[in-house]
Homo-oligomer: A and B are copies of this chain.
């Protein structure tokens, strides 16, 4: 069975995964880029955005990349929430095709959860956006089918990720804790008391100051 995985979810020490006041000009609201600053220097991000050839990197020289790159390994489909696809109100803009330009970094079928679905959009580089107004279990079943034996990545934002976690549908979760107090925004952990009971949990701090915490579903 293919796995359901979420990677590179940036959160603050007080548990917020995104800020307040999201808009076209401020995709993460007042958080700005602070929860993802560890990610930008990684070879994975650099490779995903400009430099097309992902190079092999010495993990000791780029320890955050050890975590960052896993997000692209063995993924056959993505599911994201409406809040990740665009700023509030994108549903009213018929020309909106996401934040990522002509060639988004997904390279797979990508399912967007929204109460206002539209026609699928085929982008360059293998990403096709499908818009679904359906229960999360149904969308997962469709994404799994589309992934064709590979894993399904949950891209966030925090609200959709939390729904999948609460439903017990997530096999692997990787969060990166940046030691700032964000104060407001959307909390990742609300309603997930004792989540760790079903998982093996590991923490690793890197020299960038971020703590990577992974949750792997317990076997058997």
Contact = CB atoms under 8 A, between A and B. Distances in A.
Chain A, interface residues (CB within 8 Å), range: 20 to 34
A209 B181 CA distance: 21
Contacts of A191: 183
A179 to B, nearest CB: 5
A204 to B, nearest CB: 6
A23 interface: no
Contact of A211 (B177, B181, B182, B189): B177
Nearest to A202: B209
A192 B183 contact: yes
Interface in A181-199: 181-184, 187, 189-196
A205 interface: yes
Interface string A153-193: 00000000000000000000000010111111001011111
A201 interface: yes
A213 B182 contact: no
A15 interface: yes
Nearest to A199: B179
B196 A179 contact: yes
A88 to B, nearest CB: 22
A203 B196 CA distance: 21
Contacts of A209: 201-203
Contacts of A194: 180-181, 183
A13 interface: yes
A14 B184 contact: no
A205 to B, nearest CB: 4
Interface of A: 13-15, 177, 179-184, 187, 189-196, 201-205, 209-211, 213
List 6 tightest A-B contacts by C-beta distance, closest first: A183-B193, A14-B189, A205-B205, A181-B195, A203-B205, A14-B15
17 contacts: A13-B177, A14-B187, A14-B189, A177-B177, A177-B203, A179-B201, A180-B194, A180-B196, A181-B193, A181-B196, A183-B189, A183-B191, A202-B209, A203-B205, A203-B209, A203-B210, A204-B205
